[in-house]
Structure 1
Amino acid sequence: MKKISFLVSLSIFLLLSACATKNASYKDENFQKILTSKKQWKIENYTSNQLTTILSYEKEQEFIIGFKGEQVFGKFGCNNFFGSYTIEGNKITIGNAGVTRKMCENDIMEIEAEMINGFLNTSSEITLKGKKINFSNASFSLEMQ
């Protein structure tokens, strides 16, 4: 009787382990598909000190981000950035990032500096809330259309 209950317990454990592994890889694939589903995303808002600002768009002040293959690129105000990224589960890691360094308006440069420090060369958890994609260490979210 003990052998049977042990085998049943072992079978249940293996079944649950297989399902957990399948779900983890499905999450990887899902976030990858979501982020690469558009050529580029508009960054809709920016949060600092618990104050959220809706970003306005002018030709010289774009807030955009894109994911293609294993590369990330975009613009946090006036400077372009680029780098590589990996996704494991719901964690995105941005590495080998570079940024152009042209001068802009002070308020835009302050927002840009915080966004760069919170997103480039860091890891963040990705969460979906309604139609928003949020990054835990970054100070912005993306709006899905």
Structure 2
Amino acid sequence: MKILSTLLFAMLVITSCGNKPNAEKLSGEFHIISLDQNSELPENLTITFDAEAKKISGFSGCNNFFGSFTVTDGVLQFGQMGSTRKMCAGDANKIETEILQMLSKVNTFSFENDTLNLKADDAILLKAKK
């Protein structure tokens, strides 16, 4: 019985450590390479996470954006987001709107090699590389 209890405890510890991504792994600047399956994006789109300060910032094509985030048990939540207010035309405005809309839908993330996947449940909304 003692061995069984020890094994059950070990299994519980191992599964609780599981594959839930943590905030520290998010730290740093990432270059957005895909947005809802669209990989025809300008190269200057970025998203930066500061895990210690729990802040997010980036460049979305025309304006800079910023806000806060939390990661709890693998769930990623963004707080109130803000941005600068430059006037943009054409594709820059469209891409910026898409990025900010996608970020509002994100609730989890994963890593595939060096690629960050921001997801709504299992659907990948945004991919970015360090």
Q: TM-score, normalised by structure 2?
A: 0.77
Deviation at 1:82, TM superposition (A): 0.9
> Cα RMSD (Å) of the superposition?
2.4
Q: Which residue type is aligned with residue 44 of structure 1?
A: I
Q: Conserved in 2, the CA contact under 8 Å of 1:115 and 1:139?
A: no
Match of 2:25 in 1: 34
1 or 2 for the larger relative contact order (CA 8 Å, sep ≥6)?
A: 2
SS of residue matched to 1:87: strand
The 4+ residue runs of structure 1 with deviation greater than 4 A are none
Match of 2:108 in 1: 125
Structure richer in helix, relative to its length: 1
Q: Distance in 2 between matches of 1:100 and 1:133?
A: 25
Match of 2:40 in 1: 54
Match of 2:48 in 1: 66
Q: Which residue type is aligned with residue 126 of structure 2?
A: F
Q: Which residue type is aligned with residue 47 of structure 2?
A: I
Larger Rg: 1
User: Identity rate of aligned residues, in percent?
Assistant: 23
Q: Are 2:92 and 1:97 equivalent residues in the alignment?
A: no
Q: TM-score, normalised by structure 1?
A: 0.71
Q: Which runs of 5+ in 2 are unaligned?
A: none
Aligned residue among 13, 21, 29 for 1:18 = 13
Deviation at 1:95, TM superposition (A): 0.9
Q: Which residue type is aligned with residue 39 of structure 2?
A: T
Residue-pair matches, total: 125
Deviation at 1:9, TM superposition (A): 4.1
